[in-house]
Chain A
Amino acid sequence: MTNQHDDPLAALLDALRDAESGDAAPPHIETALMRAWDAAHGSHTPPARLSAVSRFASLAAGAVVAAGLTLLGGHLRSATAVRPSLATAASPTVILVGEPILDGEHVRLVRMRMPAATLHALGVRTTALATSDVDVDVVVGEDGVARGLSLNP
């Protein structure tokens, strides 16, 4: 199409096409797209078929864990008073709001101030009054989607 190399412009256009021919979108775009695919279609990993032995082992392990948790819960109930807001805004706890952070994924921390009512509307409990403002650190993934919130009391 532009092979008339006696024309300097055509030669330059050919050179630019050659120089760019191997360029492609960076890998994180594919990662983000496949994550979007998984979110839209459910997990891509087919459920593994469990053998009878591993099923039994899983059931037994589940029963042991359940019994342990029941005992632990009883001890905690008797030892502590119920404080529903303990794990909310009292400490800068990270609340996961999106996909997990991948191994080696670069994240950014964006500090922002927002009305507590906004957090309440999102289902995040805080001890702050709905009319007051809350400082929030948002953990943002490579694809620009929030991965977590950290509430600053």
Chain B
Amino acid sequence: MQDIDTVGPAESDQALVARTAAGDREAFATLYRRHQGAIFRFARLMTGSPSAAEDIVQEVFLVLMKDAARYEAQRAALTTYLFGMARRVTRRRLRRERRFVDIGTSRGASRWSVMPDVSASLERRDALQQLRCAILSLPSRYREVVVLCDLQALPYETAAASIGCAVGTIRSRLHRARQLLATKLRRVDRAHGVARAAMRCAV
């Protein structure tokens, strides 16, 4: 799947970037509306923080605004270019603010719990919450492949180009990331089972 939040006429990204470089405000706005959702979701899943994700979206599109003339469509699709930039900005931010990755349990949960998800059942919401926390607790090289390939549904080739590695590396990291996730979720499930049993004993 390519992208995602298509708004406005289906003009190609390449044409819109060219118009942006020539100073066309509407072209830039269309590019933003088309791609911001994917970048926002990527950044939020990587940082666990909606406000950090907002900053990252802003930074990525500010760079696009300034450097649109430097973008070379023959080297990479705009999606690849934007995800690559979002990845660099996110990693820089995570390095600067280590607290964003140091989650995994309750702190991560409280940060996500502010997000509205009223339509989902409580149990399903809890399961998704645990998955988000498990993803956040992965090392970033595994987290980014899960977010790009499993959650943004990018082809392996696009993910590899965004990260700057071989497709084989993406495959192996994804395999390892899913193993880690499954282990973490099983552990959480077991802990919940123990807690439920303890509650029953206490009652």
Partner-B contacts on A (CB < 8 A): 1-2, 9, 12-13, 15-17, 19-26, 29-30, 32-34, 36-38, 40-41, 44, 143
Contacts and interface: CB of A to CB of B under 8 A. Distances in A.
A2 B153 CA distance: 9
Contact of A12 (B45, B65, B131): B131
B142 interface: no
Centre residue among A13, A17, A38 by max chain B CB count within 10 A: A13
B166 to A, nearest CB: 18
Interface string B131-156: 11000000000000010011111000
Query: Main secondary structure on chain B at its contact with chain A?
Result: helix
A14 B151 CA distance: 7
Given A16-B128, A30-B29, A41 B150 contact: no
17 contacts: A2-B150, A15-B124, A16-B128, A16-B151, A17-B152, A19-B117, A21-B4, A24-B5, A24-B40, A25-B54, A29-B36, A32-B58, A33-B65, A34-B25, A37-B25, A40-B65, A44-B25
Contacts of B103: none
Interface in B1-45: 4-5, 23, 25, 28-29, 32-33, 36-37, 39-41, 44-45
Interface in B23-78: 23, 25, 28-29, 32-33, 36-37, 39-41, 44-45, 53-54, 57-58, 61-62, 65-66
B32 A26 contact: no
Interface of B: 4-5, 23, 25, 28-29, 32-33, 36-37, 39-41, 44-45, 53-54, 57-58, 61-62, 65-66, 117, 120, 124, 127-128, 131-132, 146, 149-153, 178, 181-182, 185
Centre residue among A12, A38, A44 by max chain B CB count within 10 A: A12
B177 to A, nearest CB: 10
A23 B41 contact: yes
Given A25-B53, A30-B32, A34-B25, A19 B120 contact: yes
Contact of B44 (A2, A12, A19, A23): A23
Nearest to B174: A1
Contact of A25 (B36, B66, B149): B36
B134 to A, nearest CB: 9
Nearest to B120: A19
Nearest to B23: A41
Contacts of B178: 9
Contacts of B120: 19
Nearest to A34: B29
A9 B57 contact: no
Contacts of B41: 20, 23
A15 B151 CA distance: 9
Contacts of B28: 37
